[in-house]
Structure 1
Amino acid sequence: MTDPNVERKLIEIIRIISESDKPVGARLIADEMHNRGYAIGERAVRYHLRILDERGFTQKHGYIGRTITERGKKELSDALISDRLGFIITKIEELIYRADYDLDTGKGNVIVNISYIDKDDFDNATDVIRYAMANGASISPKVGIFEEESSEYDIYVPEGKVAIATVCSITFDSLLLKNGIPTIPAYGGLMQMEKHEPEGFVDLISYSGTSIDPIKIFLRRKSTSILQAIDTGSGKMLANMREIPASASEKAGTLIERAKKDDISGSICIGESGTEVFYAPVERGKVGIPVIVGINSVAAVEEAGIQIETHPVSTVMEYRKMKLL
């Protein structure tokens, strides 16, 4: 049986082909897949296209590209929205499993967000990112930089662009799980800051039952005021919350303190059993752990008037290959 993650990509590729009135090539498909939040390169798209050809869902027209077949149209019509509900939490769970950073050895992968920016804007954008990170608007000051045509980590960088990888706060969930603490990403939301301290969530979206990352929804709405929060102490930053068993609270606290030594921070607090945290509800027998997300630093770039395209919870990357800006 094909990997469910591969199946989701296959369906999305069929959708892209079906939306065109002419054959579509792998390069255009890869670009559109990135627009839809899938971290997949041109080479990987070709692999998926071969599968679709073999199943009779697409037809190849030489070097021009592919079109959808009648069988492909039926397959697409059967792929109901229910197949996409819960997609983001499934993707997150997969990345939590794949990330394997070890606090004892300093080796392994962390989960990263990927942002794309024009080369001409790179210097100004990194100035903003550096400023935001220096003022606590991220979970790590380390980034990965990828030039155009890069194929590392299956990150495709279009011509004229630079990709910036920032550490994703879901890395905390991986660290907890790898150390024997079950964790469930619960909400993504907007955290009101007052006097440079968290005041409370003013908006929340559950990770379960949604096909779009909650953090990406807030980015699209341009809901943040990160630079204002840094400069005046009052504003809105992106944050998320996970739940863990209340019995693991002390162990989680120790783990979070250890992570700070490796420049992985951003945890606001660990709540009390069954008690809401900053107005976010928590299930009985569990505690909530809210974290300022790593993507705040790139959201600040857009606030500064620089165009940037960001895909939260995108892939995994070896942490020791990430550097300070």
Structure 2
Amino acid sequence: MRLAADCGLIEPSLTEGMKSDRKTVAQYLDSNPFDSAEPDIRTKYIRDRLCDSLREYYPDITADNDDVMPVSVVQRGLDEIAEDDPALIVFNNNSDQCHQTPFQKAGDIDMVPVAGNDNQSPAKPSAKKLLSQKALLATLATPGLRQHNLTRLWNTALSDSGVVNPGQDGMVDESLAMAENRSESGIAVTTVMVRSDHDNKGQAKEQSLQLVWNKALDRLLVAGQGQISKSLKRSFDEARLVYVDLTAERAEKEIQSGFDFVLSSQMKTLSYQVKEAFLMRNRLDKAEDESEIGNAAALLLRKDLKCYLPHYITEQAVKPKAA
């Protein structure tokens, strides 16, 4: 007897084979050859980024990386970093100290009013005490340090203070969730304040860095002010991160391209929430203009965008106050 399946009239039932262990094209495109799981390779890569950072401060360094900083010193420094350490970890760019302690702890001061303390904000740090933009960016371009530091750039100060609407009917506002790195979308948005790398007539100057992080894809967009060095740009490219100089002529095109890359398939559905997440800490001179701006890219390009609830990143770890 001939069955219908034999005649091609219905789809025959097939026995599914084991899934191939070959990488898909998408996996090859997303894989980062510089973000190796092999400890020796990763440590060497971190050492190379540390040497790049040192050359930012000491351009006369001409020795090979092996002579500048042995990999063993970097590994020892990494071994001393506790996984649950709440501090930001940055490269020690002091040439007299880095061979003993290649990493140092940075701190942060969030100016969101503290609930239960008469809604008073902490004391504002001076610009000269802030971590430089290039020092923070160097760690964000470094596997291992990037994940450690990114998770520490967000907190729940906005919710804890009550200065923003947490949501309605028990539902957390999605933009607030993004601004505190607890959105189910995996998208985190924030603004931090650092010290400018560019000359300001000898005076230290603070500036903002705008960040959008797609945790699922480990894609990061950083929008700052001023060009970054060629070596830092190369590190960003190797890590498949995006830095946009908001003062550049191509800023409009690059910032939109950066959002497309980081948000990926969620670009259309989350564009409005991302814009509102930035407005948790930032404001335009005229509040009525905020509703007329369609997306975050257009918002960040505005010259009158000001951070009114700044989160400062300091060069030294902040000592906790005694109880």
Q: TM-score, normalised by structure 1?
A: 0.31
Larger CA Rg, structure 1 vs 2? 2
The higher-RCO structure (CA 8 Å, 6+ apart) is 1
